[in-house]
């Protein structure tokens, strides 16, 4: 295909071309072994070495201290919604959860099976268009859970609350997009299929001292300690997805690391937010102070087009952008309109092409 395509999907989503090319080559010959990565045992030196290197790259890029373990797991971020409380929360104890979107509410619903869950703040009544930051933590709560970036609603914690005990964060949709201080967290988890890799692998970064405190029996596969003890090789890990992560992390390092990504993500998201703020047709849906640098939902402004024309015009905008190679811009059903997901691997040219398409479409419709 000759046309340049920009993929604005919320996940699985755009990956660095260099990383996918290297991963594709490894399918036929992994690291000069003559055997394809899909056909190679995880108990071989080349694969063990690759997994260990992925661990150290992630450690280096995120500045993960020695007192944290990293594990590569299956089951997606959704499995972490239960693994976290199963491993950290005793039946007689409680944990605080902030309810900032669908994924946050799924996490807290799951956690309720394992202990007392206090929903300390929620923006549900505002269709999750903001991050409620003023709340009181429950004395004695084991941990405070946050979803650092709300993929569907395009809101993001710009600075994290200081937990009375320790923070647990779902960073599925903004890990490696900005500098964070890992020491502020007891546990970080993220499904890889947005900023790190393809679907199939989930990363958990766990401070050593938060484990081993609950009385319940934890099934072997759901126990973090099992995977820590075996360097993520207790059972067959998702080797290919880990390799895609390995190549993506190499790309990230070559391109200036997390600091450079953060600067670029600010620049890219500012381009779209400035366009939205100047537009007479489009408007963003998230509260300004909580706007995400990763996912940008937007809709037609109320009154800019007749109510009965909105649906047809939405379709028209999606065809208009599609013709220019701008893909996957349809909004999530719970927000409607459009959503541009601009993860690390989205080049600035893709964002510029989107901003131009928005301006051209506005001119076409409003004159």
Ligand X SMILES: Cc1ncc(COP(=O)(O)O)c(C=O)c1O
Which of 151, 248, 328, 344 is in the footprint of ligand X by CB under 6 A? 151
Q: Is the peptide bond before 12 cis (omega within 30 degrees of 0)?
A: yes
Judged by CB under 6 A, the stretch of 75-83, 110-118, 276-284, 306-314 that binds ligand X is 75-83
Judged by CB under 6 A, the stretch of 71-79, 131-139, 320-328, 352-360 that binds ligand X is 71-79
Least gap, CB of 307 to ligand X (angstroms): 31
Phi-psi region of 220 (alpha: psi -120 to 50; beta: other; left: phi over 0): alpha
Judged by CB under 6 A, the stretch of 91-99, 167-175, 222-230, 278-286 that binds ligand X is 167-175
Span 279-338, contacts to ligand X by CB under 6 A: none
Span 93-132, contacts to ligand X by CB under 6 A: 103
Which of 9, 87, 172, 269 is in the footprint of ligand X by CB under 6 A? 172
Q: Are 244 and 197 contacting, i.e. CB atoms less than 8 angstroms apart? A: yes
Least gap, CB of 222 to ligand X (angstroms): 15
DSSP per position, 249-261: HHHHHHTTHHHHH
Element (H or E) spanning 364, and its range? helix 348-366
Q: Which two tokens stand for residue 88?
A: 């950290």
**Interaction between residue 74 and ligand X (CB under 6 A):** no
**Interaction between residue 210 and ligand X (CB under 6 A):** no
**Interaction between residue 177 and ligand X (CB under 6 A):** no
Least gap, CB of 302 to ligand X (angstroms): 27
Which positions are annotated as active-site residues? 103, 170, 194
17 contact partners, CB below 8 Å, separation of at least 6: none
Calculate the alpha carbon distances from 7 to 12, 187, 291, 316, 355 in Å. Answer: 10, 31, 21, 18, 14
Site map (CB under 6 A) of ligand X, residues 27-66, x = contact: ----------------------------------------
Which of 147, 177, 285, 321 is in the footprint of ligand X by CB under 6 A? 147
Burial (CB count within 10 angstroms: exposed 0-12, middle 13-18, buried 19+), residue 15 = buried
Q: Rounded to an integer, what distance in angstroms lies between the CA atom of residue 144 and that of residue 138?
A: 9
User: Which residues lie near ligand X (CB under 6 A)?
Assistant: 11, 76-78, 103, 147, 151, 170, 172-173, 191
């Amino acid at each position: 295909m000759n046309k340049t395509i920009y993929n604005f999907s919320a996940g699985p989503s755009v990956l660095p071309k260099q990383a996918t090319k290297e991963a594709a080559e490894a399918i036929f010959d992994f690291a000069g072994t003559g055997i394809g990565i899909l056909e190679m045992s995880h108990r071989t030196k080349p694969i063990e070495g690759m997994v260990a290197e992925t661990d150290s790259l992630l450690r280096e890029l995120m500045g993960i201290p020695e007192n944290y373990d990293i594990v590569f797991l299956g089951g997606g971020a959704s499995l972490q919604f239960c693994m976290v409380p199963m491993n950290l929360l005793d039946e007689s104890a409680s944990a605080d959860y902030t309810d900032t979107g669908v994924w946050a509410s799924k996490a807290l619903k799951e956690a309720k099976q394992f202990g007392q869950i206090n929903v300390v703040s929620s923006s549900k009544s505002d269709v999750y268009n903001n991050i409620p930051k003023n709340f009181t933590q429950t004395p004695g709560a084991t941990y405070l859970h946050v979803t650092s970036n709300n993929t569907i609603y395009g809101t993001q914690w710009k600075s994290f609350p200081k937990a009375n005990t320790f923070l647990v964060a779902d960073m599925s949709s903004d890990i490696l997009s900005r500098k964070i201080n890992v020491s502020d967290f007891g546990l970080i988890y993220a499904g890889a299929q947005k900023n790190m890799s393809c679907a199939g692998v989930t990363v958990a970064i766990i401070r050593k001292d938060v484990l081993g405190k609950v009385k319940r029996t934890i099934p072997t596969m759901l126990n973090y300690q099992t995977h820590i003890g075996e360097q993520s090789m207790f059972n067959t890990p998702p080797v290919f997805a880990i390799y895609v992560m390995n190549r993506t992390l190499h790309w990230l390092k070559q391109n200036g690391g997390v600091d450079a990504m953060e600067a670029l993500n600010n620049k890219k998201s500012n381009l779209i937010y400035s366009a939205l703020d100047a537009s007479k047709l489009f408007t963003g849906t998230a509260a300004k102070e909580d706007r995400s640098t990763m996912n940008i939902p937007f809709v037609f402004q109320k009154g800019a087009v007749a109510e009965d024309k909105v649906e047809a015009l939405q379709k028209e905008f999606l065809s208009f952008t599609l013709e220019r190679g701008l893909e996957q811009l349809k909004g999530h059903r719970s927000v409607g309109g459009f959503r541009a997901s601009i993860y690390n691997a989205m080049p600035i040219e893709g964002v510029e092409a989107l901003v131009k398409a928005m301006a051209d479409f506005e001119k076409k419709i409003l004159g």
